[in-house]
Structure 1
Amino acid sequence: MKSTSSLFKGKLLITLTALFTAAMLTASCGYSISDSAMEEGLVPDAVSQFYDNENRIIYTTASAEHRLPVKLDKIPKHVRAAFVSIEDNRFYEHSGIDYRGTFRALVSNIMGQEVQGGSTITQQLAKNAFLTQERTISRKIKEAFLARQMENKYTKDEILNMYLNQIYFGEGSYGVESASLTYFGKHVQDIDLAEAATLAAIPKSPNYYDPMENPKANKERRDIVLDQMVKYGHITQADADKAKAEDVKIRKDENTGKQKDLRSYFFDYVSQQIIDKYGADALFKGGLKIYTTLDSSMQSKAEHAIRYLPDIWTEDPDHLTQPQAGLVALDPTNGYIKAMVGGRGQDKFNRAVLAQRQPGSAFKAFVYLTAMDNGLNAATMVDDKPLKIGGWQPQNSGGSFHGTVTLRTALSRSYNIPAIRVALRVGTEKVMKMAKACGITSLVEEGPYTDNNPAMALGGLTKGVSPLDMATAYGTIANNGVLNQPVSIIKIVDRNGKVLFEHKPAPKQVVSAKAAYQTTDMLKDVLISGTAGGSGLGRPAAGKTGTTDDSKDAWFVGYTPNLSCAVWVGDDRNRSMGAMYGSGAPLSIWHDFMINAVQELPYADFVRPAGAVTPVGKDMGNKEDEDKNKEEETKLQNDPLAKPPKVVKPKSKAADKPVISNKPEKKTDSSMKKPAPVKPAPAKPVPIKPQQKTNKK
């Protein structure tokens, strides 16, 4: 009966929506574009302004557009075909409106979902030329209405010509001629099929499909464009195969290798969110006021800490100094991002957000958090003895073992074998779900290669993690188990003073306060006597080092009750950094930043919840733990599911060999030198040179 009712409601919804669509579109046919509509659509361009957390203007978008109109006869047929194939394959058949797309948008709106997709080339032109980027049903109807009027007034070729001169391609370029010069250094009439498909791949998401900054993503969509061209008869399969095999040469950014303001990584991150929600025109021409969470003083301290990173290699083939680094600091009590540095200032790739690298032992925090949530405590005993899982025999640093140890000791000294045993005891799936609940977004739960395996306990992940995710997830532990998703935008106001967006807090208790506090209590030992010993801040703090095989990635992630900070150091091409550990440069950067940043924050201690147990010595239940360890040993020998972990390939800007991240930490005193504290930044920040490019998504 229930299914019949649902079916009836579905049919009713479809019928009513169809009638509404037909009525609106029919009613619009007898009208022409009014003067008021023209005035509304052709408002003067205005720059957008970014504000920091103290409402000071810290960044202004560039107002200049790179637009070079070109006549249709100067645009090759294969260029036109590429755009028509991927954007609107029925362009020469319809009358300007994709009724199915408009219908789908109306249904989405009625169902309370975001209005999306379905626009023809004519509709896109109408939207870009005469309307705002606001995603509402009224704008969608206006868009369809204006598209019909344009189809009555202009030929198909004229509409296509205007469209190809209007659309945004990233890097401040509007239109195919400007984009062709920007990316290839030649006029659009001279580009080949592969280059045409490269351009056609961009407009869907100019930042993400930018061939300069994200060539892999662009190539994947470029190949889709070529497949569509074959499907609709514009080229042969042989043509497509040849174009797919072509190594398209992208013109180098003239700023590559030059130092840029490190704050631009944060602005790129915020800009991409605005473009995704409101469109590029809203950001670059809409006169928005964007109130952000950035703390200018903390940002200056983060930049100082990153610039302290010593050079290991002068530069790579892309003229970038290596190793690179990423840093994110946020307030765990609300998720506000206080500082972000996505690299050493020589390119636009934001490693703080986009780089997914192996976390090594920094991931162990989630193993022990899961253990605390399942009834274990800091004094629970675990064997640090040789372990074999199938053909895999994980090792500790130097190959030594330490007998039976407490969880507190195992975590603070980053022993590998106990971490694996604890993960197996509580269940690797529980560990994976715990990390995800805390804020790690890149875990793989389904498919042939998942993160549900013992190597996860040592940070051996299928994809890796970003500094932003690590700062968020550790912040959840700092906040007694309450997750606050990372926030960069507090409010957006349009040129007329209308509030377009305002952040609404949505804290979520994802793990018990007791388990979080007990984990924090153990992680505090890391900074006192563990792998980061002697790196305290003069106030309560906790953290964890992380290093992967061959020192390809090194981390330190740590926090106080009111500031969580993740630091990653590594080579973009996934090369070994030699004797680099999380207790080296990453810890130095973290300590340099944190010891200065916390001076601006009130002193705070971690609040012990009721029932929290934080023993320092051995657990009263020693015999029980020993028996449990023996049971697990037997299970590992007999359990067919206890297979060796899959070798996983880390994702980075340019990854190479597969790795399993199981390298333990060891103290490197020679790398523990601390730079002098930074003087507080001046009240008024230095103006930033305007930028047009947003970071890729």
Structure 2
Amino acid sequence: MDKRSNTSRQKRPAKSGGTVKRAVLGLGLIVMVMITGIGCGFLTASMNTKPDLANDILPPASSQIYDINGNEIANVHAAENRRPVKIAQVPKQLQDAFVAVEDNRFYEHSGVDPRGIARALYTNIRGHGVAEGGSTITQQLAKNAYLTQERTITRKVQEVFLALQLERQYTKREILEMYLNQIYFGQGAYGVQAAAQTYFGKDVEDLDLNECAMLAGIPKSPNYFSPLNNLQAAQERKAVVLDQMEKYGYINHSTAEKTKKEEMKLVKPVKKSETGEASYFIDYVTQKLIDKYGADAVYKEGLKIYTTIDMDMQKAAEATVSKLPTYKTDGNGLGQPQMALVAIDPHNGYVKAMVGGRGNDQFNRATMAVRQPGSAFKPFVFVAALENKFTPNTVINDSPIDINGWRPRNDSGNFSGRVTMREVARYSMNVPTVKIAQKLGIDKPIYYAQEMGISTFVLEGPQNDRQLATALGGMTKGVTPLEITSAYGTFANKGVHVEPVVIVKVLDRNGKVLEQNEPKQRSVVSESSAAELTDMLEDVVKKGTGTRANIGRPAAGKTGTTSNYNDAWFVGYTPDLVAGVWIGNDDNTPTQGIMGGHLPAEIWKAFMQKAVAQIPAKNFDGSRSSGYGGVGELEDDHKQEVRKKEDKKKDEKKDVDKKEPKEGTDKSAPAGNGNKPGNNPPSMPPVVAPEPGDGVGKGRN
């Protein structure tokens, strides 16, 4: 009897649970029916009015951009370049390209694609929020013509109703025509005709398949996929469009592959009309918002955009451009060499100043130029070593080395024998840096650099960065000034990396907060390693390759010059501000002997002296500083050699090498994947030595 009673008790909860589930399901069905009924009633009532796409529901309103102190610095409005055309003028290949990549069931659905909505709902439920997704061409037209860009359930429902109404009132050809005249292509171009003129200098009816595929790929992210801003990304996006066209039967495989290989003939970019202060920063902020909310939201919906820019620092940054010599003028009428400067608060990631070049072109070198860092990469090798039992006084033998035929050399052409890692940093020695990276494994410096925000490494394929030449800055692609400056901020912030921030918050025209950005940070290296590296890089500024950057108060930094003087860098920091300066030609040809320790260091110094003038000087440990005294000049090669010998004698007298582990011992630089829990790089294939000749000379001072 007890057994039957127990069995009965075990069954009851299951029965009760099934009842609850059925009740919830029934209630859900009732709610759905009610919503459907209300929606049908609303839709039926709204069908009586035919949409007039000549008018927007909301009157256009300019957006305002504010600096860190709340002062308005820009009024952003649409300078629309819109030239409507009839659908008959639009090449069939361009129509097909848009349908293939944006809405492959356009000719089958009635304005709303249930499959797309199902995918979007699933994504939203999983993400616990509302995200764009599943929108048909008709829905996009409804959204662009009538609605704000806010991402809410209400706005999505309105979009669906309007799309159904449009499909009832217009033919597919009419809808596609309106859509192609409405869509934003970047560079101020609205519609396919304006885009064809902007990018190719021709009418839309004259576009070939190559150009059609390129145009169809741009609206997904008009700034990023603009071939005038990012040709490589635009080419990759074009390939996606061609693959979609092949998938849905608009072109065959051979045509798709042939078109992918065709070069793109673009017209010269139009110079920016704005020549005011912070124009590159304002453009950068504007494009980030366009990518997120759409052009209409930014240009017509009266957003209030609060940014991180400090206009006093910005003015100081822009004043440094006058120090840049002009050796030649390129085909676009721009003076060469060009430059970029970025300044960031290392504690919260706020970008305080940004110069993307001289002149008024569309290319922001601070955020878009991916250039070889040269010796400016070496601190990532040094900090990886400090995280793996090296110290600033660990001794390395500066002597010839042959790595499968690759023989790195120092810029001076000489070898100094036994040197400490502090000296290696101070004089930017190449061979000892390679030996340190070889002992660690190049994966460790790459790992730490990635954790500090460097996103441009190539880790797979025949040409990749898992080679020792990377230790000298010989990367496959390179780095942007913004990312490497942000990465150095990790050293200034005691080993904690904070992602760059340019937008503090965005409000709509009614004061509703659309976004508010808090600093995103993560601990990358120990505070002790960051302090030791900073101490080493202070030596660079006091008496090494970076003495022209000496601002008379505690500062640390590193020079960088690549082979043939194509790129010159100085990236450095005080306890409260990190700044990076890059100089080079846009076409990646050699400059006239510009080195990182010369002009970039001088520009960095000129900027920093003004930028930190109102900030009390302090040491990196937080104590008050009385300054360094006199500001040094760059030492020539002879003086550097003499100083090296003097420093070496001092170190020998102190018997530093007796107290510290020697190069080659297990204690000095253990092999493997590191020794500190939580700091180990992800599993990677073995490092491949560079081909003979690769990376030689890439780590000039």
TM-score, normalised relative to structure 2: 0.83
What do residues 611-653 of structure 1 show as CA deviations (whole Å, max 9, x unaligned)?
xxxx9946645376336369999999xxx96752258xxxxxx
**Residue 661 of structure 2: SS of its match in structure 1?**
helix
Alpha-carbon distance between aligned partners in 2 of 1:520 and 1:21, rounded to the nearest angstrom: 62
The aligned counterpart of 1:7 is none
Give 2:232's aligned amino acid: K
- Residue of structure 2 equivalent to 1:644: 689
The aligned runs of 1:109-128 (5 Å cut-off) are 109-111=124-126, 112=128, 115-128=131-144
| 2:185 alignment partner, SS class | coil
Q: Is the CA contact (8 Å cut-off) linking 1:383 and 1:403 kept in structure 2? A: yes
Q: What one-letter code is carried by the residue in structure 1 that aligns with 2:690?
A: P
In structure 2, the partner of 1:265 is 280
Question: Is the contact made by 1:106 and 1:137 (CA closer than 8 Å) also made in structure 2?
Answer: no
Shift of 1:532: 1.4
1:287 deviates by: 0.5
Equivalent position SS for 1:219: helix
Q: Distance in 1 between matches of 2:297 and 2:76?
A: 11
Shift of 1:366: 1.3
The letter for the 2-side match of 1:403 is G
- Please say which of residues 386-395 and 187-196 is displaced more in the overlay: 187-196
What one-letter code is carried by the residue in structure 2 that aligns with 1:250?
A: L
User: Counterpart of 1:98 in structure 2: which amino acid?
Assistant: D
Letter in 2 for 1:367: V
- CA spacing shift, 1:534–1:61, aligned 2, 3 Å: closer
**Paired amino acid for 1:327:** L
The aligned amino acid for 1:318 is: N
Equivalent residues in 2 for 1:63-74, closer than 5 Å: 63-74=78-89
- The aligned counterpart of 2:111 is 96
Q: Which region of structure 1 is more displaced relative to structure 2, 145-154 or 397-406?
A: 145-154
Query: Are the structure 2 counterparts of residues 134 and 628 from structure 1 closer, same or farther at C-alpha, using a change threshold of 3 Å?
Result: same
Residue in 2 that maps onto 1:142 = 158
Letter in structure 2 aligned against 1:200? A
CA distance in 2, matches of 1:49, 1:661: 50
Counterpart pick for 1:660 among 663, 672, 695: 695
What is the identity percentage for the equivalent residue pairs of Structure 1 and Structure 2? 49
Pick the aligned partner of 1:605 from 610, 619, 632.
619
- Segments of structure 2 that go 5 or more residues without pairing to the other structure are 1-21, 624-647, 673-684
Relative distance call for 1:583 and 1:130 in structure 2 (3 A) is same
- How far has the Cα of 1:88 moved from its partner? 1.4
Describe the shift of the 1:578–1:245 C-alpha distance in structure 2 as closer, same or farther (beyond 3 A): same
The SS at the match of 1:404 is strand
Q: Which residue of 1 aligns with 2:400?
A: 386
Are residues 158 and 420 of structure 1, via their aligned partners in 2, closer, same or farther at CA, if it must alter by over 3 Å? same
- Which stretch has the larger CA shift, 114-123 or 482-491? 114-123
Higher mean displacement: 213-222 or 618-627: 618-627
| Structure 1 range deviating more: 273-282 or 59-68 | 59-68
Unaligned runs of 5+ in 1: 1-11, 610-614, 648-657, 667-697
The residue type paired with residue 283 of structure 1 is V
Contact 1:126 1:147 in 2 (8 A): yes
1:499-510 pair list within 5 angstroms: 499-510=513-524
Identify the match of residue 579 of structure 1 among 593, 597, 614: 593
Alignment map for 1:241-320 (pairs within 5 Å)? 247-255=263-271, 260-261=275-276, 263-312=278-327, 314-320=328-334
Aligned counterparts of 1:74 and 1:332: Cα–Cα separation in 2: 53
The match for 2:507 is 493
Shift of 1:36: 12
Query: Partners in 2 of 1:116 and 1:659 — Cα distance?
Result: 46
Aligned to 1:673: none
- Most deviating of 512-521 and 416-425: 416-425
Residue 526 of structure 2 is matched in structure 1 by 512
1:533 and 2:547 aligned: yes
Work out whether residues 444 and 451 of structure 1, in 8 Å CA contact, stay in contact via their aligned partners in 2: yes
Write the mapping of 1:399-478 to structure 2, written as runs, cut at 5 A: 399-478=413-492
1:612-691 aligned at under 5 Å gives the runs 617=651, 620=656, 622=658, 625-626=661-662, 628=664, 643-645=688-690, 660=695, 662-666=697-701
Q: CA deviation at 1:591?
A: 1.1
Q: Which amino acid aligns with 1:179?
A: A
Q: 2:458, 2:477 within 8 Å by CA — same for their partners in 1?
A: yes
Cα distance in 1 between the residues matched to 2:387 and 2:622:
15
Would you say the 8 A contact 1:52–1:291 is kept in 2?
yes
Q: State the Cα distance separating 1:599 from its structure 2 match.
A: 0.5
Name the residue aligned to 1:189: 205
Match of 1:367 in 2: 381
Hey, what's the Cα distance between the residues in 2 that align with 1:569 and 1:475?
A: 20
- Alpha-carbon distance change, 306 to 23 in structure 1, aligned in 2, over 3 angstroms: farther
Q: Structure 1 stretch 116-125 or stretch 540-549: which is displaced more?
A: 116-125
* Corresponding position of 1:77: 92
1:390 partner SS:
coil
Aligned in 2, Cα 1:528/1:87: closer, same or farther, shift over 3 Å? same
In the alignment, is the contact (CA less than 8 A) between 2:63 and 2:304 conserved in 1?
yes
Q: Which residue of structure 2 lines up, in the alignment, with residue 178 of structure 1?
A: 194
**192-201 vs 89-98, greater mean Cα deviation:** 192-201
TM-superposed CA distance for 1:392, in Å, is 1.0
Give the Cα separation in 2 of the matches to 1:518 and 1:219. 44
Q: Deviations over 1:564-613 (max 9, x none)?
A: 0011111222212242211122112111111111103232321179xxxx
1:560 offset after TM fit, Å?
Answer: 0.2
Deviations 1:41-82, CA, capped at 9 Å, x for gaps:
610011111111111111111334222333323333333222
By relative contact order (CA 8 Å, sep 6+), the higher-ranking structure is 1
Aligned to 1:201: 217
CA gap 1:430/1:33 in 2 versus in 1, 3 angstroms: farther
For normalisation by structure 1, the TM-score amounts to 0.83
CA-atom RMSD, angstroms? Answer: 3.4
Report the Cα distance in structure 1 between the residues aligned to 2:138 and 2:33, rounded to whole angstroms. Answer: 19
CA distance in 1, matches of 2:115, 2:697: 52
Q: Output one character per residue of 1:355-407: Cα deviation in whole Å (capped at 9) or x when no partner.
A: 11111111111111122222322222111111121111111123211110111
Provide the secondary structure at the position in 1 that maps to 2:335: coil
CA distance in 2, matches of 1:364, 1:278: 39
| Length, aligned pairs only | 635
Q: Is the 8 A contact 1:358 1:661 kept in 2?
A: no
Moved more, 440-449 or 383-392: 440-449
| Residue type of the alignment partner of 1:645 | P
**CA 1:427/1:336 → structure 2, altered by over 3 Å: closer, same or farther?**
same
The 2-side partners of 1:471 and 1:635 are apart by: 30
* TM-aligned CA distance change 1:74 to 1:452, over 3 Å: closer
When Rg is computed on C-alpha atoms for both structures, the one with the higher figure is 2
Counterparts of 1:590 and 1:33, CA distance in 2: 65
- Whether contact under 8 Å (2:464, 2:476) holds in the other structure is yes
| Cα deviation, residue 245, structure 1 | 6.0
Q: Distance in 1 between matches of 2:329 and 2:168?
A: 58
Q: What are the superposed Cα offsets for residues 128-176 of structure 1, whole Å, 9 maximum, x if unpaired?
A: 1222112233333332232222222222122112111211111222222
Could you tell me which residue of structure 1 aligns to residue 241 of structure 2?
A: 225
Q: Give the residue type in structure 1 aligned to 2:165.
A: Q
Mapped partners of 1:619, 1:473: distance in 2: 35
